[in-house]
Amino acid sequence: MVDGYYIGQMSGTSLDGIDTAIIEIQNGRCTLIEKHSFKWPQDIEQRLRNLIEQGNSLDEMLQLDQLCAQYFSQAALECLKKTQLHPVDVKAIGCHGQTIRHSPNSDPAYSLQIGNANRIAEITGITTISDFRSRDIAAGGQGAPLAPAFHAAVFRHSEKRRVVLNIGGIANITILTDEELKGYDTGPGNRLLDDWIRRCKNLPYDKNGAFAASGKTNSFLLSNLLNDPYFQLAAPKSTGSDYFNLNWLQQHLNNFSDEAEENIQATLALLTAISIGDQIKQAVKHCDEVLVCGGGVHNTFLMKLIEQQLPNSIITSTETFGIHPDWVEAMAFAWLAQQTLSGLPGNAAKVTGAKGTRICGAIFQN
Ligand SMILES: Nc1ncnc2c1ncn2[C@@H]1O[C@H](COP(=O)(O)OP(=O)(O)O)[C@@H](O)[C@H]1O
Ligand SMILES: [Mg+2]
């Protein structure tokens, strides 16, 4: 393994911005050195949203690929500035990029993250690794989720039966109860909650779940939403916000046009909690601890609903185990960069469904 400093960058489906983490890896131990959050400029966020939802201009995508690279570079350099480190001290940046499409079940399957790594390598002077998902997809996998191998590296416990739950725009679980690593996307995380409150109140997210908490669940709508085939699909499986988004919700709302806005938010929160809870119960006979990371951990109402779904497990933030929940995914991509540089696999074949483990990502050397 190539020990040293690594930068990881994640900009998830919530489109809330770029999370950057600098970590030090020594003999397999990962320590968070510095972190930085960078909000997309408003016009870029809007252009990304349009591209993901409509996707009708190739030139627009290519421009955003380059523009996002500039912002990823800026975010990485800003994070580095907070430390004593210089670009030459960093072995590599692992940049997830911004997902524009994730279509692992089409024929042929594909997944696209933008944020041109040639440009990031050029601006930062740091070797940059990107396009982590494509090799796994080429090997027949879902290309996602990729964080489980990192979750296992830092959170596995010899006696406790643990599940790691990441609530980003989409929620995913990593099952650490058996020797063989398992995990998959359970479906919506924050994305539907964000979309609905943006639509109703022009707010970016439902702070602490207060809007959802003010409503009452509509059980007809809930069972309608839970009927989506994705929830019953067997693993390996992955999804994206190009599927679970406002369009998806609106298709289901046709017969509920009189329902109060807050009741819809309450129903979406319960949908998220039930889909997560059910799939954890299905995947694991008994789970001692659910370690939660991602922005959803701050949604206190949602966390309460998840606790109600899993009364026999302790539901706690990854912070309890030494890693702040906001930085786990960015750290995962720093760790994945280290795997790639070391010639080690990044995917867990059982998780993604690939034919085998693969060295993931393309290296843009400096
Ligand atoms: N205090 C909070 N209350 C409710 N939701 C929150 C809070 N803080 C963050 N979030 C949610 O977390 C999301 C960002 O989570 P993140 O893990 O960055 O997702 P992604 O990886 O998809 O970008 C926000 O869009 C929001 O929905
Ligand atoms: Mg984010």
- All domains in the chain, ordered by first residue: 4-144+326-364 (3.30.420.40), 148-321 (3.30.420.40)
Residue 299 near ligand 1, beta carbon < 6 Å = yes
Instruction: Give me the amino acid identity at 241.
Output: S
Residue 1 CA to ligand 1 centre (angstroms): 33
Residue whose entry in the numeric block shows the structure tokens 């997830």: 96
Q: What's the per-residue H, E or C state across the chain?
A: CCCEEEEEEEECCCCCCEEEEEEEEECCEEEEEEEEEECCCHHHHHHHHHHHHCCCCHHHHHHHHHHHHHHHHHHHHHHHHCCCCCHHHEEEEEEEEEEEEEECCCCCCEEEEECCHHHHHHHHCCCEEECCCHHHHHCCCCCCCCCHHHHHHHHCCCCCCEEEEEECCEEEEEECCCCCCEEEEEEECCHHHHHHHHHHHCCCCCHHHHHHHCCCCCHHHHHHHHCCHHHHCCCCCCCCCCCCCHHHHHHHHHHHCCCCHHHHHHHHHHHHHHHHHHHHHHHCCCCCEEEEECHHHHCHHHHHHHHHHCCCCEEEEHHHHCCCCCCHHHHHHHHHHHHHHCCCCCCCHHHHCCCCCCCCCEEECC
Pocket test for ligand 1, best of 192, 205, 242, 302 (most atoms within 8 A of CB): 205
- Beta carbons within 8 Å of 264's beta carbon, 6+ residues apart: 196, 215, 218, 221, 253, 256
Contact 57, 73 (CB under 8 A): no
pLDDT for 180: 86
Atom of ligand 1 nearest to the CA of 329: 21
Residue 172 CA to ligand 1 centre (angstroms): 14
Ligand nearest to the CA of 99: 1
Q: What span, in angstroms and rounded, lies between the C-alpha atoms of 251 and 286?
A: 36
| 316 CA to centre of own chain | 18
Residue 296 near ligand 1, beta carbon < 6 Å = yes
Residue 81 near ligand 1, beta carbon < 6 Å = no
pLDDT for 164: 98
Residue 179 CA to ligand 1 centre (angstroms): 31
Q: Exposed (0-12), middle (13-18) or buried (19+): which is 343, by Cβ within 10 Å?
A: exposed
Ligand nearest to the CA of 326: 1
Q: Record the tokens describing residue 286, joined without a space.
A: 């008994």
Beta carbons within 10 angstroms of residue 41's beta carbon: 12
Residue 15 CA to ligand 1 centre (angstroms): 9
pLDDT for 56: 82
Pocket test for ligand 1, best of 9, 16, 323 (most atoms within 8 A of CB): 16
Ligand nearest to the CA of 189: 1
Minimum CA distance residue for ligand 1 atom 15: 295
Minimum CA distance residue for ligand 1 atom 7: 298
Atom of ligand 1 nearest to the CA of 209: 4
Q: pLDDT tens string for the chain (366 positions)?
A: 899 999 999 998 889 899 999 999 999 899 999 999 999 999 999 999 999 888 889 999 999 999 999 999 999 999 999 999 999 999 999 999 999 999 999 999 999 999 999 999 999 999 999 999 999 999 999 999 999 999 999 999 999 999 999 999 999 999 999 888 999 999 999 999 999 999 999 999 999 999 999 999 999 999 999 999 999 999 999 998 889 999 999 999 999 999 999 999 999 999 999 999 999 999 998 999 999 999 999 999 999 999 999 999 999 999 999 999 999 999 999 999 999 999 999 999 999 999 999 999 999 999
Residue 135 CA to ligand 2 centre (angstroms): 24
pLDDT for 58: 95
